[in-house]
Amino acid sequence: MPGGFALNRQPVSQETLAADPLAVFESWFAEAQAQDPRFADAMTLATATPEGRPSARTVLYKGLSDGAVCFVSNYGSTKGQELELNPRAALVFYWPSSNRQVRLEGSVERAPAAWSDRYFAGRARSSQIGAWASAQSQVIASREVLEARIAEAEARFRDQPVPRPPFWGGYWLRPERIEFWHGQDARLHDRFSYRASESGWKIERLSP
């Protein structure tokens, strides 16, 4: 039992999967949250330059909106710059507690300003100040420089709400392909791929 959890070995069949992959995702995510809420929302985000040089990092899942998977970032970060020039990405969730993985691929767009404003307004004030202070992914001389920027931001917005920085906001990944992986004994894993088409989602079982 890795991490103290009993792995779910119940086989997955195409007949038991919903026709809408986002419904399957929400069900699996809810189970992961119930089993281990500390890391359920962690997902790997892979982006690439126009020349195809990839980079990946872990970000936090911020829910679904209008059929898109949401996350947030500084627009000037490495991922923000890469998405500006090559607006396609891949996401991976892995939940050891349930022995499941979900992969999503698709196009990425900036979330509407109203969505980003609402999300930012709900953040802790310290996180709001941090968004103003950090030029994400840029070289910085020392932690003291960062702390000075935080002090400047705190002074700037003292006794008033902290507005969302114009260089920070949400991103929406609109899935075109979603793969569900459920680990089984002897490497006979269950894998199902959903692909978007004009007639809806096409589902296929994949060899492990």
How many whole angstroms separate alpha carbon 99 and alpha carbon 182?
6
The pair of structure tokens assigned to 63 is: 């829910």
How many whole angstroms separate alpha carbon 72 and alpha carbon 74?
7
**Could you tell me which of 120, 113, 95, 121 has the C-alpha nearest to residue 29?**
95
Task: From the candidates 177, 187, 191, 195, give the one annotated as an active-site residue.
Answer: 187
> CB-based contacts of 130: which residues, under 8 Å, 6+ apart?
150
Give me the amino acid identity at 95.
W
Helices (H) and strands (E) counted in the chain, each on its own, are 5, 9
Residues 27, 91 contacting (CB under 8 angstroms): no
Catalytic (active site) residue 187: yes
Residues 174, 107 contacting (CB under 8 angstroms): yes
Q: Looking only at Cα atoms, what is the longest distance across the chain?
A: 60
How many whole angstroms separate alpha carbon 191 and alpha carbon 207?
7
The pair of structure tokens assigned to 69 is: 């998977």
Place of tokens 């999300």: 119
Q: Which residues are catalytic?
A: 187
